[in-house]
Amino acid sequence: MYKASTSMALAVAAAAGFTTITAGQAQAQEACSTYTVVRGDTLSGIASAADVRGGFRVLFDANTNVLDSPNLLEVGQVLTIPCADGSLPTGAAPVVAASTAPAPVTSAPARPLRIATASDYAPFTDENLPGGGMITRMVDRSMQLGNADQEYDIIFINDWGSHLETLLPTGAVDMAFPWFRPDCSRVENLGPASAYRCTEFNHSDPFYEIIVDFYTLNGSAYANAQSTNDLFGARICRPEAWFVFDLEAAQLVEPNITYVTTVAQNGCFQLLKDGEVDIVTYDALPAEEDIRSAGMEDAVATLEPLRGTVSSHIFVSKNNAFANEALPIINAGLEQLRLSGEWFNIVRESIQETVEN
């Protein structure tokens, strides 16, 4: 079931076999087919040559069974090129390869699950989007597929900060999404806020690999940056309450950089426009929409060599026994969603809606 409430107090690497694009390459791709990666290819170049609607993001999403990152292509990899309508070619491999589907979880539910998300994160979650957005639709279908007998409510609590700070720890809600998990095997290298995501919460399997880009003004001192070290000395903006563990891993922390945050997501681009920051970095999909909304398409450069990915999960408090017992429902349903191809259809439809609007 799906229910909405009102607001409440709320990663191209240069290594053996990995290459960068050169002029004249990536010209033989066709939509609704497969393509074998050759030396010099990049995902952006392949997507552009094949006229993939939604660009490299859609091409990456169609090949997550092959690709670990949108920046890492290996010579000889066979990629599936989506059709003109965004669907996959007939007979294409499912997004996640497996021989059998998982058995649904059938344990008797004790009570309805309370699952929280929030708005203003298009195309991933927003009350005004069809089905509540891309990841909301995935969560909804995963619950249905994982255990049809488990009742649940998906509620929008639009104070993002309250999700991890109070709502999950106190048991006011059982699960919250979409939240990003650091590398919890190296929690000692994380700052306190990032480490908190590892020490206090358990996590579902990943729902989506979020592509994180870095942006600057055309002609700026950072426009030709090839590594994160080239950003040392910059003023970097990322919206408030967003993760910073990827910046920590790249040593993009004080005093190497000046970190600037703002309440409004699109406020970073206003600061960039006004010359108050040098770099803006957050999720590529909403960031590109914010660039369009600000009329800055011709002014902003994307620093593709710095592109990265992080994974989006459902979080549950380690102290909530009921939520932890129910987490396998989500994981079982999510695997069925991927095996059936429905996962990619949700992604395709959501990105197309964003591009069209």
- pLDDT tens, residue by residue, 297-350: 999 999 999 999 899 999 999 999 999 999 999 999 999 999 888 999 999 888
For the ranges 22-36, 103-117, 139-153, the maximum mean pLDDT occurs at 139-153
Q: CATH number for the 209-310 domain, one of 3.20.20.70, 3.40.50.620, 3.40.190.10, 3.30.420.310?
A: 3.40.190.10
For residue 180, the one-letter residue type is F
Count the Cβ atoms, other than its own, within 10 Å of residue 195: 18
* 118-127, 195-204, 221-230: least confident range: 118-127
Question: What is the dihedral angle through the alpha carbons of 187, 189, 194, 196, rounded to the nearest 10 degrees?
Answer: 40
Domain boundaries, the chain: 209-310
Pairing of strands 152-156, 78-81: unpaired
With a cut of 50, say whether residue 170 has pLDDT above it: yes
Instruction: Specify the pLDDT at position 89.
Output: 82
Residue whose token pair is 């699109």: 266
DSSP letters for 296-337: -TTTEEE-GGG-EEEEEEEEEETT-HHHHHHHHHHHHHHHHH
Q: Please check whether residue 81 is in contact with residue 29, taking contact to mean a CB–CB distance below 8 angstroms.
A: yes
Q: Please check whether residue 204 is in contact with residue 328, taking contact to mean a CB–CB distance below 8 angstroms.
A: no
Question: What φ, ψ does residue 125 adopt, rounded to 5°?
Answer: -145, 130
Residue whose token pair is 């010209």: 27
Instruction: Note the pLDDT tens digit of each residue in 223-254.
Output: 999 999 999 999 999 988 788 999 998 999 99
Question: What φ, ψ does residue 23 adopt, rounded to 5°?
Answer: -60, 140
* 97-101, 185-189, 273-277: least confident range: 97-101
With a cut of 60, say whether residue 20 has pLDDT above it: no
Residues facing residue 226 across a β-bridge: none
Question: What φ, ψ does residue 271 adopt, rounded to 5°?
Answer: -65, -40
With a cut of 90, say whether residue 142 has pLDDT above it: yes
Instruction: Note the pLDDT tens digit of each residue in 25-61.
Output: 444 567 788 899 998 888 888 888 888 877 787 888 8
Element (H, E) at 350: helix 342-356
Instruction: Specify the pLDDT at position 30.
Output: 74
Instruction: Specify the pLDDT at position 282.
Output: 93
**Higher pLDDT among residues 12 and 42, named by residue:** 42
At residue 244, the 3 state secondary structure works out as: coil
Residue whose token pair is 């021989």: 99
